[in-house]
Amino acid sequence: MPLGTLDRTPPPLFRQGLSALSKLTLCSALALFLMVADIRYSFVRPLRAAIAEVLYPVQWLVLQPVDWVRGGSGYFQSLASAQASTEAMRVTLARQSIKAQEVDQLLLENERLRQLLALGQRVTSPSMAAQVLYDAADPFSRKIVIDRGKMHGVVAGSPVIDAFGVLGQVTRVYGPTSEVTLITDGDQAIPVLNTRTGVRGVAFGDLTAASGGMELRFTPSDTDVEVGDVLSTSGVDGVYPPGLAVARVNQVQRRSESVFARINLTPLAQVRGTTHVMVLQPVKSQIEARPDDAAAPVAQSSRR
């Protein structure tokens, strides 16, 4: 056999190529280059888009059983929740129907008593609806801004309520907007009446409460006040109409070394998160002036 025809290549066992470290370095450099190119120049975005288009039918088909299971469970949960809500609404409607009948009876008795005693009618406050725009940017106060102002007939001192009770009082009036100081502000004070006992007091805002609270101050320790009592406006300040819900007593502390009890209150209105409110006119603006006040300017002009 001629020597030129012999295979002089080494057997596969003795062949040597790139080392493992060199391959790792090369692949790492290539991967780093591709990542940088993709981030800076979106090099691989068309490829990803094409792969996604191809795999979308497969993904949709694989996810169908999961969607069916989730949809079925969500349907049954929604059905159970709707049934529970319907039952709760029926109970609430029945209770409100009973209360409405009681209120109608009480209004009728009140009207007859007023006629018997020859008393005037209660003052009814005109109102207007408003929407809360935003909270005032002041960490040391509790204020909101509503979308009704001087051009809509809002005056300073007007009470503001929501669906659950007294929310605050208008303290600043601008053209299209007004600033409302909430009842949880430290500068707010509302004359209140305990609906259970009829005892009057003054509720102040308490900024020290983390979630916004109130405090019934200057109440003697021997006063009949219990946790759960509801306080409403007494109407003696000439601002708030009587009978508006204000707060509920959540804590009563009677200390031997203090003459007054420490009574913490929880506002019934949604002082955080409310969006729609009602603005009332102050009560004193609806009461006719006394004859003495009306005659005083006339007397002064006659003396001149």
DSSP track, 94-122: HHHHHHHHHHHHHHHHHHHHHHHHTPPPP
Is it the case that residue 289 has pLDDT exceeding 60? no
**Are 88 and 170 within one domain?**
no
What pLDDT shows up at residue 301? 46
pLDDT in tens, 178-228: 999 999 998 899 999 999 999 999 999 988 766 568 999 999 989 999 999
**Are 161 and 199 within one domain?**
yes
Please tell me the distance from the alpha carbon of residue 127 to that of residue 133, in angstroms, as a whole number.
Answer: 19
Rounded mean pLDDT of 142-171? 92
**Are 57 and 149 within one domain?**
no
Domain boundary among 121, 143, 167: 121
**Are 82 and 175 within one domain?**
no
**Are 217 and 101 within one domain?**
no
What pLDDT shows up at residue 38? 76
Does residue 240 contact residue 279 with C-beta atoms inside 8 Å?
no
pLDDT in tens, 237-258: 888 988 899 999 999 998 888 8
**Are 166 and 248 within one domain?**
yes
The number of distinct structural domains making up the chain is 2
What pLDDT shows up at residue 257? 83
The whole domain housing 196 covers 127-285
Does residue 127 contact residue 155 with C-beta atoms inside 8 Å?
no
Is it the case that residue 13 has pLDDT exceeding 80? no
**Are 41 and 74 within one domain?**
yes
Please tell me the distance from the alpha carbon of residue 249 to that of residue 225, in angstroms, as a whole number.
Answer: 8
